[in-house]
Amino acid sequence: MKATKIWLKATDVSSLLEVSQTFAYGIISKLNKELEAQGYLVIPGKVPTKYFMEKFYGIEDVCEMPEEEREEWFHA
């Protein structure tokens, strides 16, 4: 079963936004700082897909989100 990734890495962000990986790491860092300020735990170098989608208006209309293999019990 295919499901949208829960976490995006710099390579994913770079591809989706058509920016360099260095720039993508900066975006991820900024988004993670916002999440930390809201009291969430973060993983350095990764950003939750859902939060990324909320912050970039309209991206879901023009981009295919990366997918990964999941077990059958996983429901997105």
Q: What is the model's pLDDT at position 72?
A: 42
Contact, 2 vs 72, CB < 8 A?
Answer: no
Q: What is the model's pLDDT at position 5?
A: 84
The residue count for the chain: 76
pTM of the predicted protein model: 0.74
Domain count, the chain: 1
Residue 76 lies in a domain: no
Tell me whether residue 23 is exposed, middle or buried, using C-beta atoms within 10 angstroms of its C-beta: 0 to 12, 13 to 18, 19 or more. middle
Give the structural domain span for 21. 2-69
How is 4-68 classified by DSSP, letter by letter?
E-SEEEHHHHHHHHT--HHHHHHHHHHHHHHHHHTT----TTEEEHHHHHHHSTTHHHH-PPPEE
Q: Which residue has the higher pLDDT, 37 or 57?
A: 37
Residue 74 lies in a domain: no
Task: Note the pLDDT tens digit of each residue in 4-53.
Answer: 789 999 999 999 889 999 999 999 999 999 999 999 999 999 999 989 98
